[in-house]
C-alpha cells in the first residue's frame, strides 16, 4: 500500500455540475451536510436554469451546486478547487469557475461526438490541450454505475440515474468523509423503494472505491480544517427556510397567528412552501390568485389582528406597490419579503441581484415611507425576518425585508437559538372599551397608533386608503392636516432608529479605505477586507442591515474615512441613497449586475487599486 498524502487545506470549494435532472443538487447537499457533520463550516449555493428540463446535454440545461467547506466560511466561494462535470455542456459552461491547477472530474462516458457538438465544442476538450493546466480525471462514471447496480437494475435508464452518487463517492474519497449520513438520508428518502436505496448505496461506494483502487486522485486527498464555531447546536439552513422560521418565531413571540398571503414566484416560493407546512404552529397560509391578492389578503389579515406577511420577488413587489401604500396609510403592521432576483421585468428569475432597493425605498405613489431592512447571510435571514416582524408590529408600519436569490437558495450552518433568547414583541394593542380610543391617536414618543382588532368591544372604527384626520381617523381632505399626517408617517419611521443597534465597523478607525456593503454581499466583502488586512492593508468594513431608517451613527462613520467605496449588485442604488442622506461625502462605488455574487478576488483587486491611488 502506498503512503497517502494528506494536503491540509483551510477551505475548499467543490462545484457539482450536470444536466438539469442529473441530481447535482442532491450530490451537493449530501456532501455539504456530511462536511458540516464532520465539523467544517459550510456555505452552499445552487445555480440552476430557469427551465425545469431544458434540452439534454445543452448549455441551457446545466444545473450546478457549489459548496465551500472549511474553517472560515463567509460565502460559497468564488472559484472551485474541484469541478465535477457530468457532461460536456456542463464542463463548457463551468470551466470558467475552475481554479487553475484545480481538479476537474468528468464522466468520460458522456463525451461522445454528439454531446460534444451539442455543448458547442469543435474538438473534444478532453483530447486537446485545453485542460492541461488542471488535474483532469476522466472517470467512466456511467459504465461503472451500471456495473455497480447490475444485480438491482437491468434497464440502463434506471441504473444510470445513480450517476450523481458515483460523483459524490469520488468527492467523499478526496476529502475522507464517511458515508453514514448519505446512507441514512437514502434510507429515509426512499423508504418505500428498497432497491433504489441499495442501488444508490452501491454506487456511492463504487465511486469511492474507484478512486481508492485506481490510485487516481490519491495525491490530491485533502484534509480540510475544522471550523472554530461557538459551542451550540447547529443545523444547515437555506435563507428562505430561515426567513420562514424567523417569521414563525416572531408570531410566537408576539402571541399572534401568522398569516401569509402569497403567490408563487422564483426565487421566493420556498417561503410559501415552508410556511404552508406549519399549520400545527398556527400558520394561516393562503395561496392567492395573484400577487395583489397576496398582499391585500395580508392587509385584511393584519386589520383582523394577525401578524401578516407576504413574500415575493422583484416583479411581484412591483405588483404590490399600491397595496403597500394602503398599509402605509392604514398604519398596519405587515412584513413584505422580497427575495431579489435579476431585473427589470421578468429579468433573470434564477439569478441574484440587489436591484430592488430603490423600489423598496421609493416605489410607491405619494410620500409613503416603509421600514426597510436586509438580511446579509442565509442563516441571519432568520434574525432579520424576526426583526422585520418585530419592528413592523411594534411600530405599526409595513416593513420590507430584502433578501436575494443567493441568500434564499444558498445554505449555511445555523446555530440554533432558544426561543427564550429572542426579544419579546409587544404590539401596541388598544384596550377594549377605552373611551379615549381614537384610531389615529399616537404615542407621543414613537408616533405609533394603537391596534384595535375587530371583535374588541367598544373600539369599532373605519380605516382605509383615504387621508385620515389626525387623531380621529375619519376621512379628511384638509390641507394642513395632510401635511401633518405626511410628516407624522415619515417621523414615525425615522423614530425606529432610536431602537436600532449602532452600525459597527470592522477594522481600523484610521484605515485608508472604508468598504461599505448592504444585504447579501456581506460574506464576500468581509472576506476580501479580512484578507487584505492580513496582507497589512489599512482597510475597514461596515455592512448595513438596517436601511430605512439608517442607524443613527451612520453619518459619524462616514465622516471618519478619507475614502469610502460602496459595493453592491446593482448600478449604485445604496450609494445614491447614502449621497442623498450625507451630502459632501465623495463616495466611490463598485457595481456589478451579472446575476452573480461578488467574487472575493475582484473585490480585492478593486480595493488594492484604490489603496494604491
Partner 1 sequence: MAIEHSPVQLTKADFASDQMVKWCPGCGDHAILASILGIFPEIGYKKENFCVVSGIGCSSRFPYYVNTYGFHGIHGRAGAIATGVKIANPHLSVWIASGDGDATAIGGNHFIHLIRRNMDMNYILFNNRIYGLTKGQYSPTTKQGQITKTSPFGVIDYPFNPGELVIGARGTFFARAIDNSPKTLGEVCRAMAAHDGAAIVEVLQNCVIFNDKTHSEVTDREFKEERQLWLEQGKPMIFGKNKDKGIILKGNHLEVVEIGKNGITENDLLVHDATRENTGVHMMLAQMRPPEFPMAFGVIRAFKAPTYNQIFEKQMEEAKQDATIKCVDDLLNSGDTWEV
Interface with partner 1, residue 40, by CB under 8 A: no
Pick the piece of the chain touching partner 1 (CB under 8 A) from 115-123, 257-265, 579-587, 599-607.
257-265
Judged by CB under 8 A, the residue of 288, 373, 469, 515 near partner 1 is: 288
Judged by CB under 8 A, the residue of 248, 339, 371, 524 near partner 1 is: 248
Non-local (6+) Cβ contacts of 259 within 8 A are 284, 285, 286, 297, 298, 301, 302, 306, 307, 308, 309
Taking the C-alpha atoms of residue 83 and residue 52, their distance in angstroms, rounded to an integer, is 23
Task: Kindly identify the residues of this chain, within the stretch 14-33, that bind partner 1 according to CB under 8 A.
Answer: 33
Task: Kindly identify the residues of this chain, within the stretch 152-191, that bind partner 1 according to CB under 8 A.
Answer: 181
- DSSP one-letter code for 225: P
Q: How far is the CB of 34 from partner 1 (least distance, A)?
A: 11
Taking the C-alpha atoms of residue 120 and residue 105, their distance in angstroms, rounded to an integer, is 19
259 φ, ψ (degrees, to nearest 5): -120, 130
Q: How far is the CB of 535 from partner 1 (least distance, A)?
A: 30
Pick the piece of the chain touching partner 1 (CB under 8 A) from 59-67, 198-206, 211-219, 412-420.
412-420
Interface with partner 1, residue 365, by CB under 8 A: no
* Interaction mask 452-491, partner 1, x per CB under 8 A: -xxxxxxxxxxxxxx-------xx----------------
Contact 572, 591 (CB under 8 A): yes
Q: How far is the CB of 465 from partner 1 (least distance, A)?
A: 5
Judged by CB under 8 A, the residue of 229, 273, 486, 497 near partner 1 is: 229
Cell for 454? 375587530
Closest CA to 141 of 85, 76, 94: 85
Taking the C-alpha atoms of residue 102 and residue 344, their distance in angstroms, rounded to an integer, is 36
Judged by CB under 8 A, the residue of 75, 269, 302, 313 near partner 1 is: 302
Taking the C-alpha atoms of residue 172 and residue 69, their distance in angstroms, rounded to an integer, is 13
Q: How far is the CB of 417 from partner 1 (least distance, A)?
A: 7
Judged by CB under 8 A, the residue of 265, 299, 335, 513 near partner 1 is: 299
Distances (CA, A) of 129 to 106, 120, 492: 16, 17, 65
Q: Which C-beta is closer to partner 1: that of 417 or that of 572? A: 417
Judged by CB under 8 A, the residue of 51, 114, 187, 290 near partner 1 is: 290
Judged by CB under 8 A, the residue of 417, 428, 555, 572 near partner 1 is: 417
Q: How far is the CB of 411 from partner 1 (least distance, A)?
A: 12
Judged by CB under 8 A, the residue of 55, 120, 194, 232 near partner 1 is: 232
Q: Which C-beta is closer to partner 1: that of 419 or that of 480? A: 419
Q: Do the bridges between strand 546-548 and strand 371-374 make them parallel or antiparallel, or are there none, so unpaired?
A: antiparallel
Q: How far is the CB of 463 from partner 1 (least distance, A)?
A: 6
Contact 582, 391 (CB under 8 A): no
Q: How far is the CB of 391 from partner 1 (least distance, A)?
A: 19
With CB under 8 A, what is the number of residues at the site for partner 1? 69
Judged by CB under 8 A, the residue of 132, 157, 231, 536 near partner 1 is: 231
Position of cell 491540509?
8
Judged by CB under 8 A, the residue of 113, 122, 129, 230 near partner 1 is: 230
* Interaction mask 309-328, partner 1, x per CB under 8 A: -------------xx-xx--
Distances (CA, A) of 248 to 275, 331, 380, 390, 536: 8, 22, 15, 12, 44
Q: How far is the CB of 38 from partner 1 (least distance, A)?
A: 10
Q: Roughly how many angstroms between the first and final C-alpha of the chain, as a whole number?
A: 56
Pick the piece of the chain touching partner 1 (CB under 8 A) from 98-106, 251-259, 343-351, 595-603.
251-259
Closest CA to 377 of 45, 148, 2: 45
Sign of CA dihedral 529, 533, 537, 542: positive
Q: How far is the CB of 251 from partner 1 (least distance, A)?
A: 8
Judged by CB under 8 A, the residue of 221, 284, 441, 482 near partner 1 is: 284
Helix spans in 305-376 (H): 314-330, 357-362
Cell for 309? 406577511
Taking the C-alpha atoms of residue 545 and residue 229, their distance in angstroms, rounded to an integer, is 23
Interface with partner 1, residue 234, by CB under 8 A: yes
Closest CA to 130 of 104, 150, 110, 158: 104
Position of cell 400545527?
280
261 SS3 class: strand
Judged by CB under 8 A, the residue of 127, 151, 289, 510 near partner 1 is: 289
Residue 266: Cβ within 10 Å count: 19
**Contact residues: partner 1, CB under 8 A:** 33, 36-37, 39, 181, 229-236, 245, 248-249, 252, 257, 259, 261, 278-282, 284, 286, 288-290, 292-293, 296-306, 308, 322-323, 325-326, 330, 416-419, 453-466, 474-475
Amino acid at each position: 500500500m502506498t503512503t497517502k498524502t494528506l494536503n491540509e487545506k483551510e477551505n475548499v470549494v467543490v462545484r457539482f455540475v450536470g444536466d438539469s435532472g442529473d441530481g447535482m443538487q442532491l450530490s451537493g447537499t449530501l456532501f455539504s451536510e456530511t462536511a458540516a457533520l464532520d465539523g467544517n463550516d459550510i456555505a452552499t449555493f445552487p445555480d440552476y436554469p430557469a427551465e425545469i428540463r431544458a434540452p439534454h446535454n445543452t448549455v441551457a440545461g446545466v444545473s450546478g451546486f457549489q459548496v465551500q467547506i472549511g474553517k472560515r466560511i463567509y460565502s460559497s466561494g468564488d472559484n472551485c478547487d474541484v469541478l465535477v462535470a457530468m457532461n460536456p455542456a456542463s464542463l463548457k459552461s463551468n470551466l470558467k469557475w475552475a481554479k487553475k491547477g484545480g481538479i476537474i472530474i468528468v464522466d468520460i462516458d458522456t463525451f461522445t461526438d454528439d454531446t460534444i457538438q451539442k455543448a458547442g465544442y469543435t474538438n473534444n476538450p478532453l483530447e486537446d490541450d485545453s485542460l492541461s493546466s488542471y488535474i483532469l480525471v476522466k472517470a467512466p462514471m456511467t459504465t461503472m454505475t451500471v456495473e455497480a447496480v447490475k444485480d438491482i437494475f437491468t434497464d440502463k435508464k434506471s441504473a444510470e440515474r445513480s450517476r450523481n452518487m458515483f460523483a459524490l463517492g469520488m468527492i467523499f474519497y478526496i476529502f475522507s468523509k464517511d458515508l453514514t449520513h448519505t446512507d441514512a438520508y437514502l434510507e429515509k428518502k426512499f423508504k418505500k423503494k428498497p432497491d433504489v436505496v441499495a442501488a444508490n448505496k452501491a454506487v456511492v461506494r463504487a465511486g469511492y472505491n474507484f478512486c481508492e483502487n485506481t490510485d487516481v486522485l490519491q495525491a490530491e486527498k485533502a484534509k480540510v480544517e475544522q471550523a472554530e464555531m461557538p459551542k451550540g447546536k447547529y443545523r444547515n439552513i437555506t435563507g428562505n427556510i430561515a426567513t420562514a422560521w424567523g417569521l414563525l418565531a416572531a408570531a410566537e413571540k408576539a402571541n399572534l397567528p401568522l398569516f401569509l398571503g402569497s403567490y408563487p414566484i422564483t426565487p421566493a416560493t420556498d417561503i410559501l412552501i415552508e410556511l404552508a407546512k406549519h399549520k400545527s404552529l398556527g400558520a394561516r397560509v393562503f395561496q392567492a390568485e395573484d400577487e395583489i391578492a397576496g398582499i391585500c389578503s395580508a392587509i385584511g389579515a393584519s386589520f383582523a389582528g394577525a401578524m401578516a406577511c407576504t413574500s415575493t420577488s422583484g416583479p411581484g413587489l412591483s405588483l404590490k406597490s399600491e397595496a403597500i401604500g394602503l398599509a402605509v396609510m392604514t398604519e398596519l403592521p405587515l412584513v413584505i419579503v422580497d427575495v431579489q432576483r435579476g431585473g427589470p421585468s421578468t429579468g433573470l428569475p434564477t439569478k441574484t441581484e440587489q436591484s430592488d432597493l430603490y423600489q423598496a425605498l421609493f416605489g410607491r405613489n405619494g410620500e409613503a415611507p416603509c421600514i426597510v431592512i436586509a438580511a446579509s447571510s442565509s442563516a441571519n435571514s432568520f434574525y432579520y425576518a424576526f426583526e422585520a416582524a418585530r419592528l413592523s408590529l411594534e411600530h405599526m408600519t409595513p416593513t420590507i425585508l430584502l433578501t436575494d436569490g443567493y441568500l434564499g437558495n444558498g445554505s449555511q450552518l445555523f446555530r440554533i437559538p432558544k426561543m427564550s433568547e429572542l426579544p419579546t414583541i409587544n404590539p401596541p394593542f388598544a384596550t377594549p372599551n377605552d373611551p379615549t380610543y381614537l384610531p389615529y391617536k399616537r404615542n407621543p414618543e414613537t408616533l405609533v397608533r394603537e391596534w384595535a382588532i375587530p371583535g374588541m368591544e367598544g373600539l369599532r372604527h373605519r380605516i382605509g386608503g383615504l387621508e385620515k384626520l389626525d387623531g380621529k381617523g375619519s376621512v379628511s381632505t384638509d390641507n394642513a392636516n395632510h401635511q401633518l399626517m405626511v410628516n407624522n408617517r415619515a417621523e414615525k419611521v425615522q423614530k425606529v432608529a432610536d431602537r436600532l443597534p449602532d452600525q459597527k465597523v470592522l477594522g481600523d478607525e484610521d484605515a485608508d479605505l472604508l468598504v461599505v456593503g448592504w444585504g447579501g454581499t456581506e460574506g464576500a466583502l468581509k472576506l476580501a477586507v479580512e484578507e487584505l488586512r492580513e496582507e497589512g492593508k489599512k482597510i475597514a468594513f461596515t455592512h448595513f442591515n438596517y436601511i430605512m431608517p439608517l442607524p443613527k451613527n451612520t453619518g459619524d462613520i462616514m465622516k471618519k474615512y478619507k475614502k469610502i467605496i460602496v459595493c453592491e449588485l446593482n448600478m449604485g442604488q445604496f450609494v445614491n441613497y447614502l449621497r442623498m442622506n450625507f451630502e459632501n461625502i465623495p463616495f466611490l462605488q463598485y457595481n456589478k449586475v451579472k446575476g452573480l455574487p461578488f467574487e472575493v478576488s475582484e473585490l480585492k483587486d478593486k480595493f488594492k487599486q484604490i489603496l494604491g491611488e
